[in-house]
């Protein structure tokens, strides 16, 4: 009589279902905005929780909804912890920079001393951003349930942040050419350490498969940036001459009247080039991932990804994020429509995972990183 | 109340058909053979999800889930659970949000009402060497990479005028720097420094206009406005950066002095300027003309701008010193007095940046 427990479940092109409604979700969002406003921003942790509950709760697999069990209080406490840690570190570098200025023998020496504080400060922010992003993943996964079984993100935020930091430096040194390796190495660490209950995800990618789409995006991006530099370089030089004061109107470079046009072009050309690569990466990541006997597939294309991005950007921009839920719904529907699961899994063999961290997000809440698309 | 449902035991993601019944203050869950699987106190039940047809429940803190698929039972249960659920869902939130919001509000009140005076007090205790360095840093930031104007005769005239005005007010002579910058403005910096943009000297049509600006800036120095402003804004900046996770170390260097002072500071500096000019026997009335011309020029510029979004607006005297009509009127009522420089001296001063 317990049909599902009788044997392995076989999935063929199984889709995730997303049933979020624009009106309902926007209603929740508007209340969130108002409460965030009247509580001087404090409600935003509860707002984020309500938002996630809605999205998770309207995403289903095999007829059962996902569940987000996190609370606003957990996010708030995580934020306070991050504030203490980061505030202390930030204070050290900020005040250190000022003390260097105040105690240096002269201005020239101060100019050498301040980067000794500001550069490690920047590096620390970069490092903590990734540390926080991974901790936030751990928290979110531990609060994500399906059929009473939670996900678990194992792995260490320190290892993740180290990889991200080194990878970022490699990207800078190679003018961005290292990026496909960087992105896939991070996804590999996330997915290889991800579990649904006791069942582990596996990820085996081949960065070489992404070379062609990446180079195309890189060449288009580089050509655009060089073109912009050639067009606006002289004007920038003029502005630099007066910095930090504005250029007097008589000498104001007229080419800057083209700036809005260039920004508009940038909003089309760069994302379009990037979307082609992003879609290739999404497809590759899905195809490289498995969960027990289950395989994943993604059918996203660059053009559709670009349309999703453009639509979401316009919706959020023109409604001052009032209709952000509509953008989130569009992203989730895109996700549901383009991903499919195949293969066999015996659910009885899956056990419960460990409970996960007690408070949430920490640094990610601090830097306002969010898992929700849109 | 009873009906069908599905039970997930929290140990494996496997659905089990279950019979659900509310008896007394508990929900009892039995399998098809009638054996009891679990009994949950209604007071212990959390709502996971609520759809028109189905209801998903959890035992608080536990991982087992019950999906109520019988619509009638779902409707009955939601009524039975509602009051307790709502109290728990919002009760905790209200306490925490309330505490957090009160903290932020207290911080905001402190910043608005107490911080300016606290910063003023703090600024008084800054060592002279720190103020001197802050002055150097902000002066070099405001001047940027622009060359300085150092024509010896013209500079001596300006420096001498500054000395006379400072002396009339009983202050030490400020250190003057003139930067070649075709923008009409001047800034007071910590540790008795004044930076002039050459545009201000070029704009002037009467020597007393320059004397007026000098006296005004010396007024800022007399009241320690630059260091007070630096501490006020430095503290705010630190706080904002900490709460937003920003990291633009040192980005605020020049902005503190160039974003303009409060109206109260400007009024103090103006009052000081008129009193000092009178003390020095100099006519303050031409200063009114300077403000009038600056206002007219700014208006014309706004109209002619070819650029959108106010790009190309400039940081000249009016942008840091608004309300010029009112200020001009106060100077127009000043008592008569001497000219600060002779016509020949004034002509020489105009050549401070050399011939260009
Ligand atoms: Zn002033």
Model confidence at B245: pLDDT above 60: no
A348 chain-B contacts, CB cut-off 8 A: 12, 14
| Token pair belonging to A170 | 């490699």
CATH topology of domain B2-96: PH-domain like (2.30.29)
A242 vs B146: CB contact, 8 Å cut-off? yes
What pLDDT is recorded for position A365? 52
Q: Where are the domains of chain B?
A: 2-96, 119-285+334-349
Q: Which residue of A has its CA nearest to B252?
A: A244
**Cα A293 from Cα A8, distance rounded (Å):** 10
**Cα B57 from Cα B51, distance rounded (Å):** 12
Q: Which of A239, A245, A256 to mutate: most B Cβ within 10 Å?
A: A245
**Cα A68 from Cα A66, distance rounded (Å):** 7
| A236, containing H or E segment | helix A211-242
C-alpha of residue B224 to centroid of ligand 1, in Å:
12
A1, A97, A349 ranked by CB distance to B249: nearest: A97
ipTM above 0.95 for this complex: no
The three-state (H, E, C) secondary structure of A296-352, written as one string: EEECCCHHHHHHHHHHHHHHHHHCCCCCHHHHHHHHHHHHHHHEEEEEEECHHHCCC
Whether B162 and B174 have beta carbons less than 8 Å apart is answered as yes
What pLDDT is recorded for position B251? 44
Q: Where are the domains of chain A?
A: 14-205+288-366
Residue of A143, A155, A124, A31 lying closest to A78 (CA atoms): A143
Model confidence at B253: pLDDT above 60: no
User: Where are any strands of DSSP class E within A47-181?
Assistant: 59-61, 64-68, 144-146, 149-153
Model confidence at B279: pLDDT above 50: yes
Below-50 pLDDT ranges, chain A:
1-5, 368-374
| Token pair belonging to A43 | 């409600």
Residue of A164, A189, A167 lying closest to A178 (CA atoms): A167
B245 vs A366: CB contact, 8 Å cut-off? yes
A149, A245, A367 ranked by CB distance to B315: nearest: A245
- pLDDT tens per residue, range B289-321: 888 887 776 666 555 544 433 344 445 566 666
Mean pLDDT (chain B) is 82
A40 vs B105: CB contact, 8 Å cut-off? yes
| Token pair belonging to B313 | 């607006």
A38 chain-B contacts, CB cut-off 8 A: 101
Residue of B47, B41, B28 lying closest to B87 (CA atoms): B47
Q: Which of A322-331, B32-41, B47-56, B335-344 tops mean pLDDT?
A: A322-331
Q: Which residue of B has its CA nearest to A369?
A: B245
What pLDDT is recorded for position B355? 59
Count of CB contacts below 8 A, A vs B? Answer: 186
What predicted TM-score, i.e. pTM, was given to this entire model? 0.79
B13, B17, B21, B22: CA torsion to nearest 10: 20
A65 vs B56: CB contact, 8 Å cut-off? yes
C-alpha of residue B262 to centroid of ligand 1, in Å:
9
pLDDT class for B75, splitting at 50, 70, 90?
confident
Q: Which of B43-47, B238-242, B297-301 tops mean pLDDT?
A: B43-47
**Nearest CA to CA, how far is A158 from chain B (Å)?**
20
- pLDDT tens per residue, range B153-175: 999 999 999 999 999 999 999 99
B181 vs A242: CB contact, 8 Å cut-off? yes
> What mean pLDDT comes out for the span B199-224?
92
Dihedral pair phi/psi, residue A266, rounded to 5°: -60, -35
What pLDDT is recorded for position B309? 38
């Amino acid at each position: 009589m317990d049909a599902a427990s009788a044997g392995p479940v076989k999935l063929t092109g199984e889709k995730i279902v997303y049933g979020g409604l624009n009106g309902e979700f926007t209603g929740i969002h508007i209340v969130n905005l108002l409460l965030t406003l009247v509580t001087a921003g404090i409600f935003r942790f509860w707002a984020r929780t309500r938002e996630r509950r809605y999205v998770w709760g309207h995403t289903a697999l095999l007829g059962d909804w996902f569940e987000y069990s996190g609370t606003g209080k957990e996010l708030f406490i995580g934020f306070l912890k991050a504030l203490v840690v980061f505030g202390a570190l930030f204070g050290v570098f900020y005040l250190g920079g000022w003390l260097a200025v105040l105690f240096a023998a002269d201005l020239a020496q101060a100019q050498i001393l301040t980067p000794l504080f500001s550069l490690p400060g920047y590096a620390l922010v970069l490092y903590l951003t990734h540390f926080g992003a991974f901790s936030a993943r751990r928290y979110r996964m531990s609060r994500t349930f399906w059929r009473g079984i939670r996900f678990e993100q194992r792995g260490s935020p320190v290892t993740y942040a180290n990889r991200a930091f080194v990878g970022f430096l490699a990207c800078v040194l190679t003018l961005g050419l290292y990026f496909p390796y960087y992105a896939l190495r991070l996804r590999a660490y996330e997915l290889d350490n991800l579990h649904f209950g006791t069942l582990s995800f596996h990820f085996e990618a081949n960065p070489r498969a992404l070379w062609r789409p990446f180079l195309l995006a890189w060449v288009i991006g580089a050509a655009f940036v060089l073109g912009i530099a050639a067009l606006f370089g002289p004007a920038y030089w003029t502005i630099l001459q007066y910095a930090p004061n504005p250029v007097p109107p008589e000498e104001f470079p007229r080419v800057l009247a083209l700036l809005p046009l260039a920004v508009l072009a940038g909003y089309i050309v760069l994302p379009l080039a990037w979307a082609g690569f992003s879609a290739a990466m999404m497809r590759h990541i899905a195809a490289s991932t498995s969960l027990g006997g289950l395989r994943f597939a993604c059918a996203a294309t660059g053009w559709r990804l670009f349309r999703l991005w453009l639509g979401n950007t316009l919706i959020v921009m023109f409604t001052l994020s009032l209709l952000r839920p509509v953008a989130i719904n569009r992203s989730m529907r895109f996700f549901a429509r383009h991903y499919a699961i195949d293969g066999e899994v015996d659910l009885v063999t899956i056990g419960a995972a460990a409970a996960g961290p007690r408070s949430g997000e920490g640094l990610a809440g601090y830097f306002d990183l969010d898992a929700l698309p849109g | 109340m009873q009906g069908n449902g599905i039970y997930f035991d929290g140990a494996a993601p496997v659905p089990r058909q279950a019979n659900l019944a509310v008896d007394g203050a508990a929900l009892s869950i039995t399998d098809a053979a009638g054996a009891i699987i679990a009994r949950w106190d209604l007071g212990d039940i959390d709502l996971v999800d609520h759809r028109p047809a189905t209801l998903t429940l959890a035992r608080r803190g536990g991982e087992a889930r019950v999906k109520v698929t019988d619509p009638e039972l779902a409707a009955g249960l939601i009524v039975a659970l509602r009051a307790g659920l709502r109290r728990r869902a919002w009760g905790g939130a209200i306490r925490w949000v309330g505490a957090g919001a009160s903290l932020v509000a207290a911080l905001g009140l402190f910043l608005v009402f107490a911080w300016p005076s606290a910063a003023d007090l703090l600024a008084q205790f800054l060592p002279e060497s720190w103020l001197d360095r802050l002055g150097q840093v902000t002066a070099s930031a405001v001047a940027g990479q622009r060359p300085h104007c150092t024509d010896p005769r013209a500079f001596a005239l300006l420096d001498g005028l500054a000395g006379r005005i400072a002396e009339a007010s009983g202050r030490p002579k400020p250190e003057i720097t003139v930067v070649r910058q075709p923008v009409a403005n001047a800034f007071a910096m910590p540790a008795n420094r004044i930076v002039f943009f050459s545009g201000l000297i070029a704009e002037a049509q009467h020597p007393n206009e320059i004397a007026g600006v000098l006296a005004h800036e010396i007024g800022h120095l007399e009241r320690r406005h630059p260091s007070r402003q630096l501490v006020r804004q430095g503290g705010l900046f630190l706080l904002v950066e900490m709460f937003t996770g920003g990291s633009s170390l040192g980005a605020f260097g020049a902005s503190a002095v160039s974003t303009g002072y409060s109206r109260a500071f400007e009024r103090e500096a103006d009052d000081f300027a008129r009193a000092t000019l009178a003390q020095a026997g100099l006519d303050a009335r031409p200063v009114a003309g300077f403000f009038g011309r600056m206002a007219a020029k700014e208006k014309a510029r706004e109209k002619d701008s070819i650029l959108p979004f106010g790009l190309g607006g400039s940081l000249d005297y009016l942008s840091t010193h608004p309300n010029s009509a009112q200020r001009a009127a106060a100077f127009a009522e000043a008592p008569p007095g001497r000219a600060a420089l002779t016509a020949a001296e004034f002509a020489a001063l105009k050549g401070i940046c050399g011939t260009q």
